[in-house]
C-alpha cells in the first residue's frame, strides 16, 4: 500500500508511520515540524516539510507519490489554547483540512482516515460513550474536529470519498523500544508530566480537583496505548481499501483510570511517591470520559491489546528516560 501521512512526525503519526514502514508500505509524510520532529520519521519514509494547507505543496506530493490513501493526523490539539486562540484553531484544523481534502479529491484518492477526538462529545450524558451520543463540544478544539467530520460526510456523498473518523480518547504510552514517545513542547499531557515529576525533572504535578463525583474524587479518563491507536488506523485503512463503507469509531478501552490511579502506577514504576499538589478544578473538565469501543470491535475486529495502565506507564517511562 502507498500511503500519504500528514502530521507523520508527531506523536501518534510517527508511531503509525513506523508501523507502515515495518509492514512494507511506501510512505510519504507531510509535516510542517511546528510540533513534530524530523528524527521521529523513519529514513525509508519520504518527509516533505509543508503545511497541509499549502495547496501547491500537497498537490506536488500527491502527484509524485500517487498514494492509495491519505491519513490525516496534522492539527492543533491543546484545548486551553483553542479557547484563547479560536481563530488559529479554525484556520488550521478546519481551513487547512478543507484545502487538503480538495487536493486529495482532485488527485483521485478515495480513501481518507481522519484523526478525530472524544472532545466532539463535550460533557457526556452517559458513560461509556457510544458513537451516537449527542455531539456538543465545549471548546473550539472539539468543535473544529466535529466540523471536519461533517465535511467528510459531505465529501463522501459528493465525491465518493470513503473515510474513517477515529475518535481517540486519551492517547498514551510510547513505542516499546523507547525510541518514540511524547515530545510536546510544552508538555501538557498528564502521564509524561507525572513521570517527569517522579524523575525529578520538574516540580510537583498539579491534580485539578479531588472532589469530583468519582470513586476517588479525581477525574477519570480512558487511556489507550499509542500502539493500539496505530493498529486501529491500519485496520481502518485495510477495511476502506477493501471497499468498506465510511465509518466513525471510538478508540478506547472501555475502562476508566483516575488521576490518582495514574499517580499510583507511576509510583510503582519509580519505586517512590510522586510529588504532587491538589489544585482547584479546571473549568470545562468532565468528571469522567470513557469510550464504548464496541463498534470498533464489531466493524474492524479491533481491541486495545496493550493499554493496561502499567504497560502504558512502563513504555512511557522508558521513552522519557531515553531523553537526557
CATH code for the domain of 265: 3.90.25.10
pLDDT of the residue at 121: 96
Q: How many domains does the chain have?
A: 2
Residue 242 is part of a domain; what is its CATH number? 3.40.50.720
Same domain for 53 and 99? yes
Same domain for 11 and 125? yes
CA dist 281 and 220 (Å) reads 13
Same domain for 21 and 149? yes
In this prediction, residue 322 has a pLDDT band, given cuts at 50, 70 and 90, of confident
Instruction: Give me the torsion for CA of 170, 254, 210, 314, rounded to 10°.
Output: -60
In the annotation, is 141 catalytic?
A: yes
Spatial CB neighbours of 6, under 8 Å, sequence gap ≥ 6: 13, 29, 30, 31, 52, 70, 71, 72, 73, 74, 100
Same domain for 236 and 107? yes
Instruction: Please list, residue by residue across 60-85, b when 16 or more beta carbons sit within 10 angstroms of its beta carbon and e when fewer do.
Output: ebbeebebbbbbbbbbbbbbebbeee
CA-closest candidate to residue 167, choices 215, 138, 129: 129
- Residue 120 Rama label (left phi>0; alpha psi -120 to 50; beta): alpha
11, 89, 121, 141: the active-site residue: 141
Does the structure show a pLDDT above 70 at 211?
A: yes
CA-closest candidate to residue 12, choices 71, 67, 53: 71
Same domain for 245 and 290? no
Does the structure show a pLDDT above 90 at 264?
A: yes
In this prediction, residue 285 has a pLDDT band, given cuts at 50, 70 and 90, of confident
Does the structure show a pLDDT above 80 at 284?
A: no
In this prediction, residue 324 has a pLDDT band, given cuts at 50, 70 and 90, of low
Same domain for 59 and 104? yes
CA-closest candidate to residue 115, choices 28, 25, 16, 36: 16
Same domain for 130 and 203? no
Residue 290 lies in a domain: yes
Same domain for 262 and 145? no
**Is the model more confident about 188 or about 207?**
207
Structural domain of 198: 190-221+254-321
Can you read off the three cell numbers belonging to residue 84? 484563547
pLDDT of the residue at 185: 81
Amino acid at each position: 500500500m502507498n500511503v500519504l501521512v500528514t502530521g507523520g512526525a508527531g506523536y501518534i503519526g510517527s508511531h503509525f508511520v513506523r508501523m507502515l514502514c515495518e509492514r512494507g508500505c511506501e510512505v510519504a509524510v507531510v509535516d510542517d515540524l511546528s510540533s513534530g520532529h524530523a528524527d521521529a520519521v523513519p529514513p525509508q519514509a519520504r518527509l516533505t516539510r509543508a503545511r497541509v494547507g499549502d495547496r501547491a505543496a500537497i498537490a506536488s506530493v500527491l502527484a509524485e507519490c500517487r498514494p492509495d490513501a491519505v491519513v490525516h493526523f496534522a492539527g492543533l490539539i491543546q484545548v486551553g489554547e483553542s479557547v484563547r486562540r479560536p481563530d488559529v484553531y479554525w484556520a488550521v484544523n478546519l481551513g487547512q483540512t478543507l484545502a487538503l481534502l480538495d487536493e486529495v479529491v482532485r488527485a483521485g484518492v478515495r480513501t481518507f482516515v481522519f484523526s478525530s477526538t472524544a472532545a466532539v462529545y463535550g460533557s457526556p450524558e452517559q458513560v461509556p460513550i457510544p458513537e451516537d451520543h449527542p455531539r456538543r463540544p465545549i471548546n473550539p478544539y472539539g468543535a473544529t474536529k466535529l466540523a471536519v467530520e461533517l465535511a467528510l460526510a459531505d465529501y463522501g456523498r459528493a465525491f465518493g470519498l470513503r473515510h474513517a473518523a477515529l475518535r481517540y480518547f486519551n492517547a498514551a504510552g510510547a513505542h516499546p523500544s523507547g525510541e518514540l514517545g511524547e515530545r510536546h513542547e510544552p508538555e501538557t499531557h498528564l502521564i509524561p508530566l507525572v513521570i517527569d515529576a517522579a524523575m525529578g525533572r520538574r516540580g510537583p504535578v498539579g491534580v485539578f480537583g479531588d472532589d469530583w463525583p468519582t470513586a476517588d474524587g479525581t477525574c477519570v479518563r480512558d487511556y489507550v496505548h499509542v500502539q493500539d491507536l496505530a493498529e486501529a488506523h491500519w485496520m481502518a485503512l485495510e477495511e476502506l481499501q477493501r471497499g468498506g463503507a465510511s465509518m466513525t469509531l471510538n478508540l478506547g478501552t472501555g475502562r476508566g483510570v483516575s488521576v490518582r490511579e495514574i499517580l499510583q502506577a507511576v509510583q510503582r514504576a519509580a519505586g517512590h511517591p510522586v510529588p504532587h499538589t491538589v489544585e482547584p478544578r479546571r473549568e470545562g473538565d468532565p468528571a469522567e470520559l470513557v469510550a464504548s469501543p464496541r463498534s470498533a470491535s464489531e466493524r474492524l475486529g479491533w481491541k486495545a491489546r496493550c493499554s493496561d495502565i502499567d504497560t502504558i506507564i512502563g513504555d512511557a517511562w522508558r521513552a522519557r528516560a531515553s531523553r537526557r
